[in-house]
Structure 1
Amino acid sequence: MKKGMRVTLFIVLFGSFFGVLSSTMMTTALPSVMRVFHVSYSSAQWLTNGYMLANALMIPTSAYLMKKFSFKNLFLTFSIIFFVGSLIGATADRYLILIAGRMIQAIGAGVMIPLVNVIAMRAADKKHRGAVMGIIGVVFNFSPIVGPTVSGVILDSLSWRYLFSLTIPFTLLSIILAIIIMPKIKHETELTFNVKGLVTASFGLLSLLWGFSNIGEYDFPSFNILGLLIIGVLFAWLFIRSQAGSKNPFINLNVFQHVQFNVASILNMILMVTMYGNTIFLPILVQNVMHKSALISGLVLLPGAMVTFFMSPISGKLFDKYPVKNLVMIGITIDCIGTFLQILINHNTSILTITLGQTIRQFGLVLVLIPIQTQALTFLPADLLPDGVAMYNTLRQVAASFGTALLIAVITISNQHENVGTITGELVGIKLGFGVCLLLLMTCFIFIRKLYTTKSVVAETAETE
């Protein structure tokens, strides 16, 4: 790896860490925010789901931006946007302003996430891509898991506003480092931005997420659910139709012509639903049902976060040595075992038992995430790499956002049918949520068999594709 790319990768990784960290730091704070602003679960989840949705909209935009502008200019511009969002969130005195700060944060972080992947895939040779992507996984897989723990430590003695303030000095440092030492790698591609694609994708995703978020609070035939879902599907159809014949698509849909990219993306989406759902369920369980502090709810996630930190680089190296099919099979099996333990929780379950289930889940998850991401991108031609990275990460964020909205709906519906608003209703809803996660994980075994299992098959298929 050349020195310039190595320096660029380090700075962008450092800046991106806090962007991804912010995506889940608010999960531990949801009970506090609900009390301060007097909002429901469905409204409070926009602090996390809204963030991921804005991320999802910016990630495909990055495919165009990375072909048009230098990595340095992109990183500086969107780091500043993230910085502004953090300031707004830290000083917000109304809930809508707080949501606006989160959205602006997400816009800034949304470009940095795929930027890291593209730099890593271009800089690493094929023999070491797994190892390099393992290091990248420390940012993308460790930071969202450790986010609730960091949040819990802060909330134990400080206000939720400090969750925004924490990122400000580190974002400033990354901006200064980029200005001083990041090389400017030029791009000379002349492109036209597909505004129609951005508009249709934005309205489609927003309407769908809004509709999913309202499940449990409104009757299904109402406009707030069914109407919004129909509008979302309509815009999604318009998006696909407009992109299919475009010379400059918002996202190049040709990435879906590669089977391994499709299979890995489906697996990734399923895992994101279960991973982000877990980071929301556990704080609600520990704080609202067990009446423990935000610090305790954060510490429950800490061992799993540390497993992710140490295993991400190892997981990447395992991809370089062993069949991806075997790694994914083992990882999903372990994840299922941990999820089954979580289904068994009740009012008398100890914090240690809850922590054990989460740690087992995270160990299985980290064995899968890096290999399937590397598998997805390895099979794409170089000219499709920015589009592949953008689409893969967009699907990741969309799945996390929509999935957690549906899982929160499970708790909301459970509260309505089990002594409205009581601990019993919340506990039943959480157990049902874990059950949904287990069912989703079990569907992964259907797709695992489609992964190529040997390096020789990989090479032959790459040539045919």
Structure 2
Amino acid sequence: MSSTDTAAAPSAGSVRERWLAFLAIILGAFVAILNNSLINVAIPSLTTDLSSTTAKIQWVITGYTLASGVIVPITGFMEQRIGYKKFLILALSVFSLGTGLCIFAWSDTSLIAARIIAGLGGGVIMPLSMTIVYKIMPREQVGMALGIWGISAMAAPAIGPTLSGYLIEWFNWRFLFIISLPFALFAILMAIVLIKEPPKGEPRKFDLPGFLLAATCAGTLLYALSNGSSDGWTSFKIVGLLFIAFWALVFLIYVEAGKDNAVIEISLFKNYRFTLSVIASSFVMMGMYGGMFLTPLFLQNIQSVSPIDTGILLIPQALAMGVMMPIAGKLFDKFGIVPLGLVGLTLTGFMTYHLHQLTPDTPHQWLEIVMALRGLGIGICMMPLSTVGMNAVPASKVGNASTASNLVRTVAASMAIAVFTSIMQTRTAMHSQHIAESITPDSARSFQALLGSSWQSTVSGMISLDAYSRGIGDTFLVSSVPLFCSIPLIFLFIRKKKTEKAAASVERKGT
């Protein structure tokens, strides 16, 4: 495969124009992810201020996730139909509209509806922005560009909790959206001014059956994964949704096979390197999101750290990822995926494994060091793993490849959070029972003599904290498994590379 087949040609503009357009893309991606990461810390405030329940207000997050997953399959079609510049402006405009409506929400229902509108725009910004990077950047700079672009994907979730804590403490939850809206509008302005629309190709017919099947599969699966822990994995609703998602996927594969205008191009997964890249990067997403989900729970619920201080403790990890990503992109352009993949995945896997040692008394300095090293590992391997797959597809397929890979990784991250939540709850309950059973009558009398009449509630609280800590530790142990499983996949890139060289040599001899 030639270089002209593996990456899109750069735009005709100057180097300065390309990098200014790239800045507009980064800002759009950053503000979409940051806005979503601000919400998690605000759930208690939203529940109180809107007189809602935790179960219903969680739909502020779930609704956005579902809308994002449902709309992603349309990215490739719209990019070819109206052009990536117009589609990015449209996506940012819809996201801004939804964010603006959130500011004026008067009830939990109106806030959820506004978040769904925001999700319809925000869901396509990441895959679309990745596509544009391949369209406007020269092939030799793609790795470095994606490394810088990846900062928005990794740093925003780490900055979000800290910023959210400050805004809620000093102002109120509406400022979570007020602060995002000017950046979103500025991103629209930058996209209009700085990005040049290339000539569009032949418009294709919209694949309605494929879109409906893809949306059904993504929507039902994400809903089931988001609500499995609360509704019960064996409940009729969750089992039914998983059943629908499975058969929607089966029919999607059948309907899309060999179709020229497929909304999800199944034939892309025949590409060995692309498929390998999607699998490996999905494993990394599972391990990464497990840590991002578990660490705030440990700090706030076990060590009683405030949301603001929680975000501050997560800053070293965010900085490590942010510093390493562009460096890793440049190293990828020079050395390829194998050394970066092995070093990054090994470091990330071992640091995630070490987090299973967490206890209620774990010092914050130790945690910051481990998380920072973990961030370095993620920064080294995450974007190179995505880039090696995207480089393996023809330039004309970059949009569809970005759509497919982002959809798979989104589902993998949602699945990881759902599974890890279930594991954490199960292991916490088991540890709580074991610790309670280990208290002998003599120990009980000692506690009573030491603590007085309140000894039972005090000991019960200590048991809960210890059991919760052990449950989170066990879950960190499990979350390291996908990271270690992805390490052997890196060696398959070596094998494939050798095979391709041998094939090329045979072809040259034949000619």
Q: Answer yes or no: same fold by TM over 0.5.
A: yes
Distance 1:458 1:57 in 2: 37
Which residue pairs with 1:436 in the alignment?
Answer: 478
- Does structure 2 conserve the Cα–Cα contact (< 8 Å) formed by 1:24 and 1:48? no
**Deviation, structure 1 residue 38:** 5.7
1:339 maps to which of 352, 365, 379: 352
1:233 maps to which of 238, 243, 246: 246
**Deviation, structure 1 residue 46:** 4.8
- Does structure 1 conserve the Cα–Cα contact (< 8 Å) formed by 2:257 and 2:267? no
- Does structure 2 conserve the Cα–Cα contact (< 8 Å) formed by 1:327 and 1:367? yes
2:294 maps to which of 264, 269, 281: 281
Which residue pairs with 1:310 in the alignment?
Answer: 323
What one-letter code is carried by the residue in structure 2 that aligns with 1:190? P
- Does structure 1 conserve the Cα–Cα contact (< 8 Å) formed by 2:214 and 2:264? no
Which residue pairs with 1:84 in the alignment?
Answer: 97
CA deviation string 1:354-400 (max 9, x = no partner): 22222121111111012111101111111211111111111121211
Which residue pairs with 1:452 in the alignment?
Answer: 494
What one-letter code is carried by the residue in structure 2 that aligns with 1:28? V
1:324 correspondence with 2:337:
yes
Q: Residue 451 of structure 1: SS of its match in structure 2?
A: helix
Which residue pairs with 1:398 in the alignment?
Answer: 411
Which residue pairs with 1:29 in the alignment?
Answer: 42
C-alpha RMSD over aligned residues = 2.9
1:195 maps to which of 180, 200, 208: 208
CA deviation string 1:145-191 (max 9, x = no partner): 33333323333433333222221011111223334454333414211
Q: Residue 214 of structure 1: SS of its match in structure 2?
A: helix
1:63 maps to which of 76, 92, 104: 76
Alignment of 1:27-426 (within 5 A): 27-30=40-43, 32-33=45-46, 39-40=53-54, 46-48=59-61, 50-414=63-427, 418=432, 422-426=464-468
5+ residue gaps, structure 2 = 1-9, 434-459, 507-511
Q: Residue 292 of structure 1: SS of its match in structure 2?
A: coil
**Deviation, structure 1 residue 313:** 0.7
Distance 2:47 2:363 in 1: 26
Structure showing greater radius of gyration is 2
Cα 1:96/1:457, change in 2 over 3 Å: farther
1:9 maps to which of 22, 26, 45: 22
Cα 1:47/1:396, change in 2 over 3 Å: farther
Distance 2:396 2:146 in 1: 19
- Does structure 2 conserve the Cα–Cα contact (< 8 Å) formed by 1:325 and 1:452? yes
Which residue pairs with 2:450 in the alignment?
Answer: none
**Deviation, structure 1 residue 12:** 2.3
CA deviation string 1:201-252 (max 9, x = no partner): 2222222233233334345432122222112212121222211143321111
Farther-moved stretch of structure 1 (234-243 vs 425-434)? 425-434
Distance 2:350 2:57 in 1: 30
What one-letter code is carried by the residue in structure 2 that aligns with 1:318? L
- Does structure 1 conserve the Cα–Cα contact (< 8 Å) formed by 2:345 and 2:483? yes
Distance 1:115 1:462 in 2: 34
- Does structure 2 conserve the Cα–Cα contact (< 8 Å) formed by 1:155 and 1:295? no
Farther-moved stretch of structure 1 (165-174 vs 439-448)? 439-448
- Does structure 1 conserve the Cα–Cα contact (< 8 Å) formed by 2:71 and 2:215? no
5+ residue gaps, structure 1 = none
Cα 1:163/1:71, change in 2 over 3 Å: same
CA deviation string 1:396-448 (max 9, x = no partner): 21211222122222334456554799544543332222122112212112312
What percentage of aligned pairs have identical amino acids?
25
So what's the TM-score if we normalise by structure 2? 0.83
**Deviation, structure 1 residue 259:** 0.8
**Deviation, structure 1 residue 83:** 0.7
Distance 1:262 1:104 in 2: 32
Q: Residue 493 of structure 2: SS of its match in structure 1?
A: coil
Farther-moved stretch of structure 1 (60-69 vs 81-90)? 81-90
Q: Residue 393 of structure 2: SS of its match in structure 1?
A: coil
Farther-moved stretch of structure 1 (134-143 vs 310-319)? 134-143
**Deviation, structure 1 residue 347:** 0.8
Q: Residue 339 of structure 2: SS of its match in structure 1?
A: helix
So what's the TM-score if we normalise by structure 1? 0.90
Cα 1:93/1:406, change in 2 over 3 Å: farther
- Does structure 1 conserve the Cα–Cα contact (< 8 Å) formed by 2:84 and 2:197? yes
What one-letter code is carried by the residue in structure 2 that aligns with 1:354? L
**Deviation, structure 1 residue 100:** 2.9
Q: Residue 381 of structure 2: SS of its match in structure 1?
A: helix
- Does structure 2 conserve the Cα–Cα contact (< 8 Å) formed by 1:130 and 1:320? yes
Aligned length: 464
What one-letter code is carried by the residue in structure 1 that aligns with 2:236? F
